């Protein structure tokens, strides 16, 4: 009998541990390795990047000649800062067989933020601010995200950690055969080299359909056009992670969440959708965010970043108000006390 009870207790404990492990947050390295599983061995994107100093870097022209080491990073990212000395040392050792490029993720970072950080730390490698195109091509999911491309133009290694494995991957890429460069995708102007017009007030909003966390389908354009729609672009870690490094942004994320929650409860005539960035976030992370803050509006994870790119959202929180006919009424970055009045006006228009 005692043995049976012990076995039962052991089985219960095991199930608890398995359940806890399943819901544990993925580490940065695990996220990067998941990305690498799909990328390693595939042709690298052939894009033209522009540095913050105005110089162009044609990735496609490097393939077949040099290995390429890209590091996606952000000024607010703690491990990015911690790894920057390693990255700078790698850049200082580059030669005719290696190109080292710092790719700022362009997420909650302005060009002034990047320039100030460069001056503060004294880094010298070329820096690009991504417009989302390169991150999309390389499945950016975490910062830092290291991408090592062999001299044949194929992706050889993806990681989050700066360790011996990364060093070995860079060295292997430098000594890999340069002949037979892989044919990648066509050249695409990226970074500041490509100018995209931001959707402005009065523009017709692009249509899309996504699945929310609860499994229901959310269509941006409501059949019959009876109610306005508000899109809330967010990150589930904004309030907590940025509390120290970017206190003002963290406060904005909190204030917008509180404001949106109050407005959504007050006015059922408005359709709400929270769109979470896929950087440092999974569906489980978003679900945890929803539970922790008791978020009542529909939420969806923009894992690939397609909606962020479509609406040219480069910082959170960003709120986009769309009237019942699908026209953009307002675009708000951060909090705005006039949002309730604006929503009321849009609702009354119908």
What pLDDT is recorded for position 5?
A: 46
Give me the domains of the chain, ranges plus CATH numbers: 26-193 (3.40.30.10), 209-349 (3.40.30.10)
What pLDDT is recorded for position 12?
A: 38
| 294: DSSP letter | T
* 349: confidence class by pLDDT, cuts 50, 70, 90: low
Chain centre distance of CA 301: 11
* 1: confidence class by pLDDT, cuts 50, 70, 90: very low
pTM: 0.86
Q: Kindly report the average pLDDT of the chain as a whole number.
A: 87
pLDDT tens readout for residues 318-332: 999 999 999 999 999
Contact 335/297 with Cβ under 8 angstroms?
no
pLDDT tens readout for residues 225-248: 889 999 999 999 999 999 988 999
Number of other residues whose CB lies within 10 A of the CB of residue 183: 11
Cα separation, 150 vs 98, whole angstroms: 9
Q: Is the pLDDT of residue 272 over 70?
A: yes
Number of other residues whose CB lies within 10 A of the CB of residue 26: 17
Cα separation, 102 vs 93, whole angstroms: 15
The DSSP-derived string for 120-132 is: HHT--S-EEE--S
* 224: confidence class by pLDDT, cuts 50, 70, 90: confident
Cα separation, 154 vs 38, whole angstroms: 12
What pLDDT is recorded for position 350?
A: 54
SS3 of residue 93 by DSSP: coil
| 95: DSSP letter | -
Contact 212/300 with Cβ under 8 angstroms?
yes
Q: Which pair of tokens denotes residue 89? A: 């040392």
Kind and range of the H or E element at 118?
Answer: helix 111-121
What pLDDT is recorded for position 193?
A: 36
Cα separation, 121 vs 349, whole angstroms: 52
Contact 300/220 with Cβ under 8 angstroms?
no
| 51: DSSP letter | B
């Amino acid at each position: 009998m005692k043995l049976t009870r012990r076995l039962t207790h052991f089985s219960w404990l095991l199930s608890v541990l398995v359940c806890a492990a399943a819901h544990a947050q993925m580490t940065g390295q695990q996220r990067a390795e998941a990305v690498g599983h799909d990328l390693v061995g595939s042709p690298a994107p052939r894009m033209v990047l522009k540095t913050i100093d105005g110089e162009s870097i044609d990735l496609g022209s490097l393939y077949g000649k040099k290995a390429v080491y890209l590091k996606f990073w952000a000024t607010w990212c703690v491990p990015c800062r911690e790894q920057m000395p390693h990255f700078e040392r790698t850049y200082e050792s580059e030669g005719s067989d290696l190109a080292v490029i710092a790719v700022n993720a362009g997420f909650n970072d302005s060009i002034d933020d990047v320039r100030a950080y460069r001056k503060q730390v004294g880094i010298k490698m070329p820096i690009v601010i991504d417009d989302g195109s390169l991150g999309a091509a390389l499945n950016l999911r975490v910062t830092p995200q290291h991408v090592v491309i062999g001299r044949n133009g194929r992706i050889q290694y993806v990681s989050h950690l700066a360790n011996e494995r990364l060093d070995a991957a860079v060295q292997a890429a430098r000594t890999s055969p340069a002949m037979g460069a892989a044919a990648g995708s066509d050249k695409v102007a990226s970074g500041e080299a490509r100018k995209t017009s931001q959707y402005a007030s009065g523009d017709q909003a692009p249509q899309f359909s996504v699945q929310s966390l609860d499994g229901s389908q959310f269509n941006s354009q409501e059949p019959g056009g009876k109610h306005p729609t508000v899109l809330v672009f967010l990150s589930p870690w904004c309030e907590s992670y940025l509390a120290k490094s970017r206190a003002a942004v963290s406060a904005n994320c909190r204030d917008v969440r509180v404001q949106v929650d109050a407005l959504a409860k007050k006015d059922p005539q408005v359709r709400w959708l929270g769109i979470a960035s896929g950087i440092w976030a999974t569906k489980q992370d978003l679900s945890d965010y929803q539970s922790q803050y008791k978020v009542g509006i529909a939420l969806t994870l923009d894992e690939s970043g397609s909606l962020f790119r479509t609406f040219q959202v480069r910082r959170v929180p960003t709120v986009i108000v769309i009237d019942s006919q699908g026209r953009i009424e307002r675009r708000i970055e951060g909090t705005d006390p006039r949002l309730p009045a604006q929503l009321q006006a849009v609702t009354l228009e119908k």
